[in-house]
Amino acid sequence: MEDLSSPGSPGERGSGRIGIGLALDSVHFKILGVLRGQGRISVAALAERVGISRANAYTRFEALRADGVITGFSARVDTSRIGLDICALVFVTVRQDLWKQFRATLATMPEVEYCAITTGQHDAMIQIRVQDVSAVHRLVTEQLASIPAVRATETVIILDEVLRRPYVLPTAPRSTEPTPAPAPGAAGTGQFGMTRFIPAAEGRADLQRAADPEE
Amino acid sequence: MEDLSSPGSPGERGSGRIGIGLALDSVHFKILGVLRGQGRISVAALAERVGISRANAYTRFEALRADGVITGFSARVDTSRIGLDICALVFVTVRQDLWKQFRATLATMPEVEYCAITTGQHDAMIQIRVQDVSAVHRLVTEQLASIPAVRATETVIILDEVLRRPYVLPTAPRSTEPTPAPAPGAAGTGQFGMTRFIPAAEGRADLQRAADPEE
DNA sequence: GTTGAAATTAGTACGAA
DNA sequence: TTCGTACTAATTTCAAC
């Protein structure tokens, strides 16, 4: 591994210098796009797919790795095939003085696939994957509840996973048009740090009876 | 690729026959565990890591692929390095008669990394990854809002991603102890299909003023 | 399920454009 | 920088045990 932290000469022809580190051009993104879908593809095949020579592909591949753009590779696993049929989201209210403990404890729980700190009503959202619904209940009431940092939780069960992309790549800059200023009042006012949007047509009614589950 | 859909003889010694298809034993899970962390590892190295012969590793590897347990491989990408610094969750209320359209439209939006249908207050949660906060606003108000199926949205910004595991594997069956029946009243009553848990000590107060963000 | 050898492919190191 | 080629090392396949 070489030290690639010193970036190339400024004024490169590549499109995107993003932050520090490697300046990524469209070929890099093509590579990432292929590797996102086929992580075990050979570099030779990769080179052909993106239309560059093998040597170039090796160079770029290694640069992406060394620079930390690519942090690793993972097998995608069909969770239902390994008995993890149930997925749930747990929204957690955390005691602000015990954050560190909360993170540390989460790291020891293998059922937790994802945890993010969010704005809004709750402090964190964690996604868990377990064998059955009773395991959700056990995990929340026994394990999560026993963490002193956890003040309250709210759990929802995931009924279906519509979309699960390995990783998102930047969209082609389609915003040639200048960003239109949002019409005042169209976007809801922030509440608890979350933004509400309700279409104008049925908006007013819904705003009034916000807790009404179904009409 | 061979047809491995016909399972082996019944009464196999393997620990876990889960659903239909391949009966997975502990070696399979070891393989998945390694491949989850190092998706590009060679099968030879994989064999050594899990303590089996090369040929055996090839056989099992191919079986896991053919049976659909492993659905593919992906590069893990440092999102900040490709300019996708902002991640947000959008909770969507969907018109129940337009689900199909909702799913189809989502699939065309490259910024959407994940979408799940949930119980609870909202119908779906989508996770988006974009370049800046203004892009979140644009995506929600312009793109999501223009979907007829979308009745309302609620957006929260992700401030930090504490944990992001490639994939969860089943935990070792630690529940040797019989699952204790939950004490009635300890777990909150369902509301909108979500389960609340609030520790006994500070629970009552919080229940009363549920909307109080900070004390 | 394991071991060992053959065939193929991958990775590296050059010079040339 | 990128490409093309030759060289070396590794991997995958296939056979027999």
Q: Per-residue pLDDT tens for B86-137?
A: 999 999 999 999 999 999 999 999 999 999 999 999 999 999 999 999 999 9
pLDDT band (50, 70, 90) for residue B172: low
Question: Can you name the CATH fold of B17-67?
Answer: Arc Repressor Mutant, subunit A (1.10.10)
- Of A6 and A28, more confident: A28
Question: What is the predicted pLDDT for the residue at A20?
Answer: 64
How many Å lie between the alpha carbon of B49 and the closest alpha carbon of chain A? Answer: 16
Q: Average pLDDT over chain A, rounded to whole? A: 81
**pLDDT above 90: residue A202:** no
- Rounded to 10 degrees, the C-alpha dihedral B94/B100/B106/B108 comes to -150
Q: Using a CB-CB distance cutoff of 8 angstroms, which residues of chain A are in contact with residue B40?
A: 39-40, 73
Contacts of A177 (CB under 8 A, 6+ apart): none
Residue B183's nearest CA partner among A145, A153, A89, A132 is A145
The partner residue sitting opposite B168, judged by closest CB among A113, A120, A175, is A113
Residues A97, A148: Cα–Cα separation, whole Å: 10
Is B158 part of the contact surface with chain A (CB cutoff 8 Å)?
Answer: yes
Residues A132, A86: Cα–Cα separation, whole Å: 5
Residues B106, A169: C-beta atoms closer than 8 Å = no
- Of A84 and A177, more confident: A84
- Return the residue matching tokens 């069909």: A78
Average pLDDT estimate for A41-62: 95
How many Å lie between the alpha carbon of B44 and the closest alpha carbon of chain A? Answer: 15
Residues B181, B188: Cα–Cα separation, whole Å: 14
Which stretch of DSSP H or E encloses residue B59?
A: helix B54-66
Query: Which residue of B lies nearest to A149 if distances are taken between CA atoms?
Result: B199
* pLDDT tens-digit series, residues B57-99: 999 999 999 999 999 999 999 999 999 999 999 999 999 999 9
- Of A201 and B198, more confident: B198
Q: Does this chain's domain B17-67 share its CATH topology with B79-158?
A: no
Question: What is the predicted pLDDT for the residue at B19?
Answer: 52
For chain A, what percent of residues have pLDDT higher than 70? 73
Question: Can you name the CATH fold of A79-158?
Answer: Alpha-Beta Plaits (3.30.70)
Question: What is the predicted pLDDT for the residue at A12?
Answer: 38
Residues A93, B87: Cα–Cα separation, whole Å: 20
Please calculate the CA angle B116-B122-B124 and round it to the nearest 5 degrees: 20
Is A65 part of the contact surface with chain B (CB cutoff 8 Å)?
Answer: no
Segment among A78-82, A116-120, B168-172 with least mean pLDDT: B168-172
Alpha helices in chain A (DSSP H): 26-37, 43-50, 54-66, 99-107, 133-138, 200-208
Question: What is the predicted pLDDT for the residue at A4?
Answer: 32
All structural domains of chain A with their residue ranges: 17-67, 79-158
To test the contact with chain A by mutation, choose from B28, B74, B100 the residue with the greatest count of A C-beta atoms within 10 A, namely: B74
Strand C surroundings (CB within 7 A): A 42-45, 54-55, 58, 62; B 52-56, 59-60
